[in-house]
Amino acid sequence: MALFTRPSVSLRDQHFPGQAPIDVYGEGVFRFAEMSHPGSLLCLPSGIYGWPVGSVAEITAETLADVFAEAADVALLVIGCGRDIGAVPRELRQQLRDSGIGLEVMATGPAVRTYNILLAEGRPVAAALVAI
C-alpha cells in the first residue's frame, strides 16, 4: 500500500499588499480595504501587516525592523500607542532620525486619523498602530 504524502506547505504572514486608509478601529480590531484584522497593525508602503505588539512598552527597534527596512520610502512614522500616548525611548527616536524617518507619537485614534490624512495627501508615511 502506497502512502500519500503531501508536499511541504510554506506558511507566510498574511498582509494586504498596498496602502489603504483605516476605516474603523476599536474593540481590538482594525478594518481597512473591506477586511477586518484583530490585533495591532504595521502599515508600510509595501502593505499592511499584523504586528505582534500589544503595548507601547513593546515598541523597539526589533519590532520596527520592517519600518527600517523600508526607510527609503518612509518620511514619517506615526505611532499609535493604544488608548493613551506613551513614551518612545530616546535611542529608538535617534535610530529613526538617523534613518531619515520623522516620528509622531500619539494615542491610536489620532494616529489613525493622521495616517489617513497623510496617506490621502500622497505623503510617504507609515504607521505602527497598537490595537485598542
Task: Show pLDDT as tens, one digit a residue, over the chain (132 residues).
Answer: 444 444 443 334 667 888 999 999 999 999 999 999 999 999 999 999 999 999 999 999 999 999 999 999 999 999 999 999 999 999 999 999 999 999 999 999 999 999 999 999 999 999 999 999
> Does the residue 12 lie in any domain?
no
> Does the residue 73 lie in any domain?
yes
Q: What is the pTM of this model?
A: 0.88
> Does the residue 28 lie in any domain?
no
Full residue range of the structural domain in which residue 124 is found: 40-129
Number of domain units in the chain: 1
What's the half-sphere exposure (Cβ side, CA atoms, 13 Å) at 75?
A: 6
> Does the residue 47 lie in any domain?
yes
> Does the residue 46 lie in any domain?
yes
* Beta-carbon contacts of residue 87 (< 8 Å; ≥ 6 apart): 56, 105
Gap between the Cα atoms of 97 and 75, Å rounded: 10
Gap between the Cα atoms of 63 and 78, Å rounded: 14
> Does the residue 22 lie in any domain?
no
The radius of gyration of the chain's CA atoms, rounded to the nearest angstrom, is 16
Q: Is 97 helix (H, G, I), strand (E, B) or coil?
A: helix
> Does the residue 13 lie in any domain?
no
State the CATH number of the domain containing residue 104: 3.40.1230.10
DSSP state of 33: T
> Does the residue 9 lie in any domain?
no
The residue whose grid cell reads 481597512 is 32
